[in-house]
């Protein structure tokens, strides 16, 4: 079921990706959502799951937003129509959906943000709005009408005093109905409004575009880590004609030059700054559990990635750096090591056979032990 039909990724990227919306009809053949509306509601009742109810009318205010976890009574109290239930990061809770996300691997893994699933009864929507990210909106069940614009808008005006970012003005030039198995791609900054025509489920596969601020933050953490301190402020040309409390323009310029110089002199830190930033995730080792791992533990069962693990790699002439959950691990760049790392990155479930192939190479054995030790991979019991 998870196989994009008649999809040409080269054409899609050259014509639409980050450029303009695209309707992809019947992109999944005989599509059936592996999760029902009832199961989605069940998920929204769990602690740790990020869920929202958006109630257009008949709530305490127009476009009321309520945050989960919810209980049965919350669902019983809902109006008949004009609401939506949205559950974010569904890929963490429903491993059967990883096959769907894998279909989007023509885009790098690190660009994927999450898979949100929404349920809406007839007329349910989250209002006309703009998202800052690329999104594939897959109609998984029922029918939804999408009104949207073909071109991007910056800094749209929003209705004041609402919890939800709803556009004050929305003049769509596109109007299309999506059936189960159809998908709409929207680049960032496209005004859109999806209204359920029948009760149904919509999957939003959202992508992230880290900002310059995020990469600078990661870079300064790297600078701190290596204890970079050789560049300091100097003022042999101290200005005397100034008020003693004033910060002069020359001083500000000097600091900006100083920072630029640090970036230049420590350009070798970019790789780790980017790798750690892109692989960052909430997975942290449970510190109460300090048991060391041995090769015999690795051999004892199959392993899966922790559902929140981000696993990436970068190769240069000498090394392969594996980045996972904001950490790095370096290995020699040898063809057999590279092939196995690609294999590990391809798969979510690591068979004993794959584990044994890795253990046969000392550098990879160390990597696996470190991944297990940091909860990046976990034993898989069928
Ligand atoms: C939804 O699934 O209801 C909203 C998706 C979107 O408009 O981004
Ligand atoms: Co949207």
HEC string of 305-359 equals: ECCCCCEEEEECCCEEEEEECCEEEEEECCHHHHHHHHHHHHCCEECHHHHHHHH
Structural domain for 201, as ranges: 9-207
Give the number of the ligand closest to the Cα of residue 131.
2
In ligand 1, the atom with minimum distance to the C-alpha of 84 is: 3
CA of 151 to the centre of ligand 2 (A): 15
Asked if 228 and 108 sit in the same domain, the reply is no
The answer to whether the CB of 194 is under 6 A from ligand 1 is: yes
Provide the token pair at 194.
Answer: 């999806």
Rounded to whole angstroms, the Cα distance separating 340 from 342 reads: 5
CB-based contact 192:186 (threshold 8 Å): yes
Asked if 270 and 292 sit in the same domain, the reply is no
Asked if 58 and 136 sit in the same domain, the reply is yes
Which of 192, 207, 222 marks a domain boundary? 207
Asked if 192 and 327 sit in the same domain, the reply is no
Asked if 94 and 184 sit in the same domain, the reply is yes
H or E element: which one contains 288? none
CA of 157 to the centre of ligand 1 (A): 19
Taking 50 as the pLDDT cut, the residues of the chain under it are none
CA of 147 to the centre of ligand 2 (A): 11
The answer to whether the CB of 309 is under 6 A from ligand 1 is: no
Per the structure, the count of domains in the chain is 3
Asked if 201 and 217 sit in the same domain, the reply is no
Asked if 24 and 73 sit in the same domain, the reply is yes
In ligand 1, the atom with minimum distance to the C-alpha of 116 is: 2
> Whole-prediction pTM value?
0.93
**Among positive and negative, which fits the CA dihedral 7, 348, 133, 45?**
positive
253 inside domain: yes
Which protein residue's CA is at the shortest distance from atom 5 of ligand 1? 204
Asked if 239 and 98 sit in the same domain, the reply is no
Asked if 260 and 312 sit in the same domain, the reply is no
The closest of 353, 344, 296, 347 to 320, measured between CA atoms, is 344
4 inside domain: no
320 inside domain: yes
1 inside domain: no
Asked if 193 and 230 sit in the same domain, the reply is no
DSSP codes of every residue in 238-249:
---SS-TTPPPH
In ligand 1, the atom with minimum distance to the C-alpha of 131 is: 8
CA of 204 to the centre of ligand 2 (A): 8
Asked if 301 and 153 sit in the same domain, the reply is no
80 inside domain: yes
Q: Is 269 buried (19+), middle (13-18) or exposed (0-12) by CB count in 10 A?
A: buried
User: At 168, which CATH number?
Assistant: 2.60.120.650
Q: Strand locations in 73-134, DSSP E?
A: 83-87, 112-120, 129-130
């Amino acid at each position: 079921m998870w196989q994009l039909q008649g999809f040409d990724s080269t054409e899609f990227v050259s014509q639409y990706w980050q450029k303009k919306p695209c309707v992809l009809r019947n992109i999944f053949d005989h599509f059936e959502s592996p999760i029902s509306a009832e199961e989605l509601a069940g998920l929204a009742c769990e602690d740790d799951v990020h869920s929202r109810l958006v109630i257009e009318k008949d709530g305490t205010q127009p476009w009321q937003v309520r945050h989960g976890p919810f209980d049965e009574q919350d669902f019983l109290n809902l109006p008949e129509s004009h609401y939506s239930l949205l559950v974010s990061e569904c890929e963490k809770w429903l491993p059967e959906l990883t096959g769907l996300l894998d279909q989007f691997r023509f885009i790098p893994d690190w660009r994927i943000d999450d898979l949100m699933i929404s349920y809406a009864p007839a007329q349910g929507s989250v209002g006309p709005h703009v998202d800052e990210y690329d999104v594939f909106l897959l109609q998984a069940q029922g029918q939804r009408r999408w009104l949207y614009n073909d071109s991007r808008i910056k800094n749209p005006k929003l209705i004041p005093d609402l919890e939800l970012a709803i556009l004050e003005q929305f003049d769509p030039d596109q109007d299309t109905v999506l059936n189960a198995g159809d998908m709409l791609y929207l680049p960032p900054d496209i005004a859109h409004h999806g209204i359920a025509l029948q009760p149904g489920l919509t999957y939003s596969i959202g992508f992230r575009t880290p900002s310059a601020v995020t990469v600078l933050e990661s870079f300064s953490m790297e600078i701190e880590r290596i204890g970079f301190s050789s560049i300091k402020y100097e003022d042999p040309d101290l200005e005397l004609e100034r008020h003693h409390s004033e910060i002069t323009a020359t001083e500000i310029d000097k600091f900006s030059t100083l920072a630029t110089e640090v970036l230049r002199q420590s350009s070798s830190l970019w790789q780790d700054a980017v790798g750690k930033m892109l692989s960052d995730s909430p997975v942290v080792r449970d510190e109460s559990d300090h048991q060391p791992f041995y090769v015999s533990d690795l051999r004892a069962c199959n392993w899966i990635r922790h559902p929140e693990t981000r696993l990436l790699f970068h190769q240069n002439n000498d090394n392969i750096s594996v980045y996972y959950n904001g950490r790095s691990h370096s290995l020699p760049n040898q063809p057999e090591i590279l092939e196995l790392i690609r294999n590990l990155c391809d798969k979510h479930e690591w068979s004993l056979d794959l584990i044994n192939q890795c253990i046969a190479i000392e550098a990879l054995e160390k990597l696996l032990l470190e991944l297990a030790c940091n909860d990046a991979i976990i034993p898989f019991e069928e």
